[in-house]
Amino acid sequence: MKNSSVEVRRSIIPSLVLDPLFYSDELRHLIPEAIAIAKTYPDSYIRHRIEVQLWTESLLQPLPPRNSKHQT
């Protein structure tokens, strides 16, 4: 499932498991692709968060404020 909401993506990226042993053989090849997508994503929080999960940054920035507009 795809979701274009940056707020949803910001919320779920901390749950992204990067350990290959967590995934089946058929899915392990997707880990580097997910990392590459996060590292080049336009949102700075998502780029920052993947670096924290890869241990290349140690200070965790807070989530940016949510957009107050409701999208339908």
SS (H, E, C) 9-72: HHHHHHHCCCCHHHCCCCCCCHHHHHHHHHHHCCCHHHHHHHHHHCCCCCCCCCCCCCCCCCCC
Which residue carries 């999960």 as its tokens? 53
pLDDT, residue 61, reads: 81
Query: How many domains are contained in the chain?
Result: 1
Does 58 reside within a domain? no
Range of the domain at 43: 6-53
pLDDT, residue 1, reads: 54
Does 40 reside within a domain? yes
pLDDT, residue 63, reads: 80
pTM: 0.76
Per-residue pLDDT tens for 4-63? 899 999 999 999 999 999 999 999 999 999 999 999 999 999 999 999 999 888 777 878
Does 17 reside within a domain? yes
Confidence check: pLDDT of 71 > 50: no
